[in-house]
Structure 1
Amino acid sequence: MDTSNPAVFVNAELLRMYVGRKVRAVIQVVRSDGGVVVGKSTDEKQLIVKGSPPLPLTTYVEVIGIAESNQAIHAEIWTNFGDTFDAYNYNQLCLLANGEYKHLFI
């Protein structure tokens, strides 16, 4: 595992702070069209993920890649998380990882 460039845990709201950096997000897939997946972030906002998703996609997918904008990620790694997922707890993790416990995640 490469620990020299860790991916920051983000939701859609936090993504804007990391444009150009490696991020990690979980989305609920809304639709997939070729190399573009539109999904709902764990904070209920829309994210666009570009790249080569695995087929078939499950309802929840974790992506690791480069934040292209405040609403888009170019994914390098896709991981199917299944059809049920606790988005609330993941969102809390994102908030903690970017708040008082940030030093533990970077």
Structure 2
Amino acid sequence: MERPAPCPRVNFSLMEKFMGQHVLLVCKLVEIDPTANRAHVLTSDGGKVIVALKATAFDSTFVEFEGIVDAPNQLREEARCEFGSSFDMTTYDRLCQLSNTDYRSLYA
């Protein structure tokens, strides 16, 4: 059985490169709009993204979304994993950068 390729990890500056594709985005929740099923989030490199949510209930400040990039600053959620209230976004941003360069094979 063929194993699907893993989703690339992205920050704000990498999202445009993955338009229409599945990605993983770790971010900090800034605001949730339950009437529109949207969240405004801050990415590891300081970008602002709007996430179209499947559900609006969260028990965490930091969240990893698996979703499809609809626009350079918009993601459509397919799944999520909550990371709690403390997460090192600086280190994660470096991981995003490394996993999308010559070191890509280490993260596949």
Q: TM-score, normalised by structure 2?
A: 0.89
2:33 pairs with 1:33 = yes
In the alignment, residue 10 of structure 1 is paired with which amino acid?
V
In the alignment, residue 44 of structure 2 is paired with which amino acid?
T
- 2:23 maps to which residue? 23
Structure ID, larger Rg? 2
| Aligned pairs (5 A) from 1:12-91 | 12-34=12-34, 35-53=37-55, 55-91=57-93
Q: Quote how far apart the aligned CAs of 1:6 are.
A: 2.0
Separation in structure 2 between the aligned mates of residue 70 and residue 14 of structure 1, nearest angstrom: 9
- 2:104 maps to which residue? 102
Q: Greater shift after overlay, 2-11 or 74-83?
A: 2-11
5+ long unaligned stretches in structure 1: none
Q: What do residues 46-98 of structure 1 show as CA deviations (whole Å, max 9, x unaligned)?
A: 01111223523411010001111110110101111101000011100100011
Q: What do residues 7-57 of structure 1 show as CA deviations (whole Å, max 9, x unaligned)?
A: 110000000000001000111000001210001000011011112235234
Matched residue pairs, number?
A: 105
CA contact (8 A) 1:54 1:78 kept: no
5+ long unaligned stretches in structure 2: none
CA RMSD after TM alignment: 1.6
Q: Greater shift after overlay, 46-55 or 25-34?
A: 46-55
Separation in structure 1 between the aligned mates of residue 81 and residue 3 of structure 2, nearest angstrom: 19
